[in-house]
Amino acid sequence: LHGDALRIYTSDDPVGVEVGGAVKNVLAIATGIADGMRLGLNARAALVTRGLAEMTRLGLALGARAETFMGLSGLGDLVLTATGDLSRNRRVGLRLAEGLPLAQILRELGHVAEGVYSAATVQQRARSLGVEMPITDAVVDVLQGRVTPRQAVEQLMGREARSEH
């Protein structure tokens, strides 16, 4: 299936590919919120990087391989979805940062933003495995109306300092 404009890569890690595909949508909502709040490119980079760590932790707990998350179906898809102007999930985050209600955002979007529907499931699965996913938790709290985007950022920034690893 290779051609001048297309190159296909395969993976024998279906769990890693599936986890990457689900979690990147949740992280794109978080990145959209940060972009909508004009937190800057350093905040975006931090969210993508720490989001990748969350994604990898969950994947490992489910039996995926760490290297899958460093490839196209992990980091590659995450970067595109979290930063691309066509990303529906990022657009949801941008609109949430404007203070619009989720129901209105989804009506106006006109397409499915998968992260809106998978965020709580990702959170539940992570909790059942004892995997810490603070960015995912913050997104779920915003989507469910428990906190505002600003409060979610304050919660994340107020977490105890620790080593990156």
Where do we find the tokens 């699965």? 125
Kindly name the residue from 24, 57, 88, 95 that is annotated as catalytic. 24
Active site residue 24: yes
> Which of the residues are catalytic?
24
